[in-house]
Structure 1
Amino acid sequence: MSELPWWTWALLVVGVVTIAILAFIAGRLLSQLQSQNKRRDEAIGKRNERLHESIVTIAKAMDQGQCPLSEGALRLVVLLDLRVEPSKIDYAERYSGLHSMYERIKHMPTHEARKQYPKAEIRKMDDEREGYEKELEDVILADVRQLLKDFS
């Protein structure tokens, strides 16, 4: 076998050094990605824990009659939708009573927006909402109790 010229050896050394540097950079980037994913997963876990606590607290208050069914339904549906889970659970199907109430009253103003309506209009909306509460009470309470079982 004939001897290679010096510039071939120089190119081989440069190639090996380049590959080593690129491998080192790839390893560092992979390590950073794993660290970032771990921090993200921990943040999601903490967020889900807070959501879980709020969901259970609201559901217990509804079950004990300390929270109006319509208000609780609005809050629970939003909180359930905010949960991040590996496989998306269809809460609308699982807790259909809560979602039915939510769909019926989600257009109604709350808080400051409510104050901009005339009192007669507010009373009309309250009567409508209370009618939905009476109509859906049994279904909503059954959903709340199931939710408490699912989240305990």
Structure 2
Amino acid sequence: MNNGIIWAGIAIGLLAVGALISLIVKKWRIIKNAEAEKQAQEKIKQQKREELIESIKIIAICMLEEQVETSEGCIRIKVLLDHVAPELHDKAPFSIFSTMYDATKHMPTHGARKSADKALIRKLDAERFELEKTHKPAILEASKAIKDYEF
């Protein structure tokens, strides 16, 4: 066989190996960047979860210190639990948050409350205050428990 053909084959082989190495390095970088992106997203997700948990605990403390109405606190905690630990909705003592949410979800809030008939608002407020009074011991028990709960 001719030496020129052998050297040409070697050169072509080296070029092919170089191209494959280049392709492998490029794909490796893509994978590493995707992994870094995934880790960054997981870190953001974990930070958001920690913020939600902190909010739950702060609302519970505010209810215990009577800085927020218990019905409002229950609604807020229930909504936050939807994102953090929805399995707690059915567990004692935490189920009271869902109970209060369900009992008050028909009541207007924010702008709808401002534009609603005043007599209706007084009636709904009386209903809400009665719910708060009836469920206050359970709400306080759940607030103490969730304040110390390890999520």
TM range (shorter): 0.7 to 0.9
- Counterparts in 2 of 1:97-116, with a 5 A limit? 97-116=96-115
Shift of 1:6: 7.2
* Alignment RMSD (CA, Å): 2.4
Distance 1:151 1:72 in 2: 19
Q: Which moved more, 1:129-138 or 1:55-64?
A: 129-138
Answering whether residue 42 of structure 2 is matched by residue 41 of structure 1, we say yes
Query: What is the identity, as a one-letter code, of the residue corresponding to 2:47?
Result: K
* Alignment partner, residue 92 of structure 1: 89
Match of 2:122 in 1: 123
- What is the TM-score of this pair, normalised by structure 1? 0.81
CA distance in 2, matches of 1:75, 1:48: 15
Looking at structure 1, the residues matched to 47 and 136 of structure 2 have their Cα atoms a distance apart, in angstroms, of: 32
Which aligned pairs between 1:6-17 and structure 2 lie closer than 5 A?
A: 12-17=13-18
What amino acid maps onto 1:49 in structure 2?
Answer: E
Where structure 1 has 5 or more consecutive residues not aligned to the other structure, the ranges are none
- CA offset digits 1:84-106 (Å, max 9, x no partner): xxxx5502123101111011112
* Counterpart in the other structure of 2:71: 70
Residue 61 in 1 paired to residue 62 in 2?
Answer: yes
- Percent identity over paired residues: 32
Tell me what 1:27 maps to. Answer: 28
Deviation at 1:10, TM superposition (A): 6.1
CA contact (8 A) 1:56 1:151 kept: no
Per-residue CA deviation, residues 86-130 of structure 1 (Å, 9 max, x unaligned), is xx5502123101111011112322111211111011111111211
Contact map agreement 1:62 1:69 (CA 8 A) in 2: yes
3-state DSSP class of the match of 1:66?
Answer: coil
Give the conservation status (yes or no) of the 8 Å contact 1:77–1:102: yes
Question: Residue 22 of structure 1: CA displacement?
Answer: 2.4
Larger radius of gyration: 2
SS in 2 for 1:90: helix
